[in-house]
Chain A
Amino acid sequence: MFEQLLRFWFRLPIRSKGTVVIALPVLCLAIAIGISILLNRRVELAEQEVQHTQEVRLCSEQILRLLIDAETGVRGYLLTGDAEFLSPYYSAKEELLDLVDGLEALSQENPSQLPRLQAISEQVDRRLASLQSNIALLQSSNGSLTLSADGEKLETLIRGKSAMDALRNNLREFIDVEETRLAKRQQTLDQERALSRAALWLAGGVGIVGGLGANYLYTISIVRRIHGLQRNALLVADGEPLSEPILGEDEINRLDQALYATADQISQKQTWLQTANLQIAEAARKEKALLDNSLDVICSIDGEGRFVEVSPASFKVWGYLPSELIGRFYTEFVVPDDVEKTQAIAAEIVAGKPISGFENCYIRKDGSRVDIIWSASWSATEQLMFCVARNHTERKEVERMKNEFVSTVSHELRTPLTSLRGFSEILLRKSCSPEKQRQYLTIIQSESKRLTHLINDFLDLQRIESGRQNYDFAPLDLVPLLHETVALFAGANELHLFRVEVADFLPEVKADGDRIRQVLSNLVSNAIKYSPEGGEVVISAVQQEALVQVSITDQGIGIAPEAMTHLFTKFYRVDNANTRKIGGTGLGLALVKEIIEAHNGQVWVESELGRGSTFFVTLPQAVQVPKTLVNSHYPSATIDILLVEDDTAFTELLREQFGHTNLHIVSTAFAEQALELIQQHLPRLIFLDILLAGEMDGWDFLITLKGNRQLASIPVVVITITEPNTRGLVFNGAEYLPKTVAPELLKQAIQHHLPHLAGKVLLIVDDDPNFRQQVIDSLKTGADVQFVEAANGRQALECIRHQLPDLLILDLLMPQVDGFEVLRQLRSDRKTLTLPVLVMTGAELTLAEKAYLKRGLATLVSKQSVGMEDLIQIVEQTLGVVGRRE
Chain B
Amino acid sequence: MTKKVILIADDEPQLRLLVRTTLEDEDYDIYEAEDGQQVLEVAAQISPDLFLLDNMMPILDGIAVCKALRANPKFCDRPIIMLTAKFQQRDIEMGKAAGVSYYLTKPFSPLELLTLIEEILT
Write the residues of chain A forming the contact surface with B, with a CB cutoff of 8 angstroms: 407, 410-415, 417-423, 425-426, 429-430, 436, 440, 443, 447, 577-578, 580-581
Residue pair A417, B35 in contact (C-beta under 8 Å): no
Do the beta carbons of B59 and A415 come within 8 Å of each other? Answer: no
Asked if A421 contacts B87 (CB within 8 A), the reply is no
With contact pairs A426-B22, A443-B17 given, residues A417 and B58 touching in the complex (Cβ less than 8 Å): no
- Chain B nearest CB, measured from A259 CB (Å): 82
The answer for the CA separation of A415 and B21 in the assembled complex, in Å, is 16
Contact A417 B87 (CB under 8 A): no
13 A-B pairs in the complex with CB atoms less than 8 angstroms apart: A410-B85, A411-B86, A414-B105, A417-B106, A418-B107, A419-B107, A425-B109, A425-B111, A426-B22, A426-B110, A429-B111, A436-B21, A580-B59
Per DSSP, chain B at the interface is loop
Pick the contact of A422 from B11, B22, B55, B105 — CB < 8 Å?
Answer: B22
B15 touches A415 (CB 8 A): yes
On chain A, the residues within 8 Å of B87 by CB distance are 410
Establish whether residues A422 and B107, one from each chain, have CB atoms under 8 Å apart when the complex forms: yes
B-chain residues with CB within 8 Å of residue A413 when the two chains form the complex: 85
Q: Knowing that A429-B110, A581-B58 are A-B contacts, what are 18 other residue pairs whose CB atoms are under 8 Å apart, sorted by A's residue number? A: A407-B56, A410-B86, A411-B86, A414-B85, A415-B85, A422-B22, A422-B109, A425-B110, A426-B110, A429-B111, A440-B21, A443-B14, A443-B17, A447-B14, A577-B58, A577-B59, A580-B59, A581-B11
- B111–A414 CB distance below 8 A: no
Contact A422/B12 with A407-B85, A410-B86 known, Cβ cut-off 8 Å: no
Q: Does B28 contact A (CB under 8 A)?
A: no
C-alpha gap A769/B34 in the complex (Å): 81
Interface centre among A411, A413, A430 (most CB of B within 10 A): A411
Q: A421 is contacted by which of B12, B25, B35, B107 (Cβ under 8 Å)?
A: B107
Cα of A187 to Cα of B22 in the assembled complex, Å? 175
On whether the beta carbons of A411 and B85 are closer than 8 Å, the reply is: yes
Per CB-CB distance, the 8 closest pairs between chain A and chain B, nearest first, are: A580-B58, A414-B106, A418-B107, A411-B85, A414-B85, A417-B107, A421-B107, A422-B18
From residue 37 to 85 of chain B, which have CB atoms closer than 8 A to chain A? 55-59, 83, 85
Residues of B within 8 A of A420 (CB): 107
Question: How many residues of B are in contact with the other chain, CB < 8 A?
Answer: 26
Distance of A425 Cα from B110 Cα, bound (Å): 7
- Flag B7-33 by CB within 8 Å of A: 1 or 0 each: 000011011011001100100000000
B81 to chain A, nearest CB (A): 14
Query: How far is it, in angstroms, between the C-alpha of A423 and the C-alpha of B87 when the chains are bound?
Result: 22
Minimum distance in angstroms from A609 CB to a CB of chain B = 18
Contact yes or no, A418 B22, CB < 8 A: no
Shortest C-beta distance, B87 to chain A (Å), equals 7
Q: A426, B21: Cβ atoms under 8 Å?
A: yes
Chain A residues whose CB sits within 8 angstroms of the CB of B105 once the complex forms: 414
Given A415-B12, A421-B109, A443-B14, decide whether A580 and B57 contact each other with a Cβ distance below 8 A. Answer: yes
Given contacts A422-B108, A425-B111, is CB(A411)–CB(B56) below 8 Å? yes
- Kindly state the separation between the CA atoms of A430 and B18 in the bound complex, as whole angstroms: 13
Residues of B within 8 A of A580 (CB): 11, 56-59
Chain A residue at smallest Cβ distance from B61: A580
Q: How far is the CA of A436 from the CA of B18 in the complex (A)?
A: 12
CB neighbours (8 Å) of A410 from chain B are 85-87
- Taking CB atoms, residues of chain A closer than 8 Å to B56 are 407, 411, 580
**C-alpha gap A44/B82 in the complex (Å):** 156
Min distance, Cβ B62 to any Cβ of chain A, angstroms: 11
A423 to B17: give the CA distance in the assembly, Å.
9
Which chain A positions have C-beta within 8 A of B14?
Answer: 419, 443, 447
Chain B residues within 8 Å of A421, by CB: 107-109
For B106, the chain A residues whose CB sits under 8 A away are 411, 414-415, 417-418
Name A442's closest neighbour in chain B (CB-CB): B14
User: Which of B18, B35, B55, B111 sits near A418, CB closer than 8 Å?
Assistant: B18
Of A412, A414, A426, A436, which one neighbours B107 at CB under 8 angstroms?
A: A414
Question: Whole-angstrom distance from the CB of B55 to the nearest CB of chain A?
Answer: 8
Nearest CB on A from B95, distance (A) = 13
Residues of A contacting B85 in the complex (Cβ-Cβ under 8 angstroms): 407, 410-415
Residues of A within 8 A of B18 (CB): 418-419, 422-423, 426
A421 to B113, CA, bound (A): 13
Contacts of A426 in B (CB 8 A): 18, 21-22, 110
Complex CA distance for A565 and B17, rounded to whole angstroms: 39
Complex interface: chain B residues within 8 A of A418 (CB): 15, 18, 83, 106-108
Residues of B near A423 (CB, < 8 A) are: 18, 21
A580 to B57, CA, bound (A): 7
Shortest B41–chain A CB gap in Å is 15
Instruction: Give the distance in Å from the alpha carbon of A419 to the alpha carbon of B55 in the complex.
Output: 16
Proximity string of chain B (103-120) to chain A, C-beta cutoff 8 Å, 1 when within and 0 when not:
001111111000000000
CA distance A630 to B91 in the complex (A): 65
Q: Which residues of B contact A414 (CB under 8 A)?
A: 85, 105-107
Closest CB-CB distance, A778 to chain B, in whole Å?
A: 63
CB distance from A421 to the nearest CB of B (A): 4
Give the Cβ gap from A791 to chain B, nearest Cβ, in Å.
80
| A447 to B18 CA separation, bound complex (whole angstroms) | 13
Q: Shortest Cβ distance from B78 into chain A, in angstroms?
A: 24
For the complex, give the distance between the alpha carbons of A415 and B106 in Å. 7
Task: Tell me the nearest residue of chain A to B34, going by C-beta.
Answer: A581
Whether the pair B108, A581 counts as a contact (CB closer than 8 A) is no
Residues from chain B with a CB closer than 8 A to the CB of A436 are 21
CA distance A580 to B25 in the complex (A): 33
Interchain CA distance A334-B87 in the complex, whole Å: 35
B58 contacts across to A, CB distance below 8 A: 577-578, 580-581
**Are B59 and A407 neighbours in the complex by a CB distance under 8 Å?**
no
Complex alpha-carbon distance, A423 and B110, angstroms: 8
Q: Please report the C-alpha to C-alpha distance between residue A423 and residue B25 in the assembled complex, in whole angstroms.
A: 15
A530 to chain B, nearest CB (A): 14
A578 and B14 alpha carbons, distance in the complex (Å): 20
Determine whether the beta carbon of B57 is less than 8 Å from that of A419: no
> In the assembled complex, how far is the CB of residue B12 from the closest CB belonging to chain A, in whole angstroms?
6
A649 to B12 Cα, complex, angstroms:
57
Nearest Cβ on chain A to B56's Cβ, whole angstroms: 5
Q: How far is the CA of A440 from the CA of B14 in the complex (A)?
A: 9
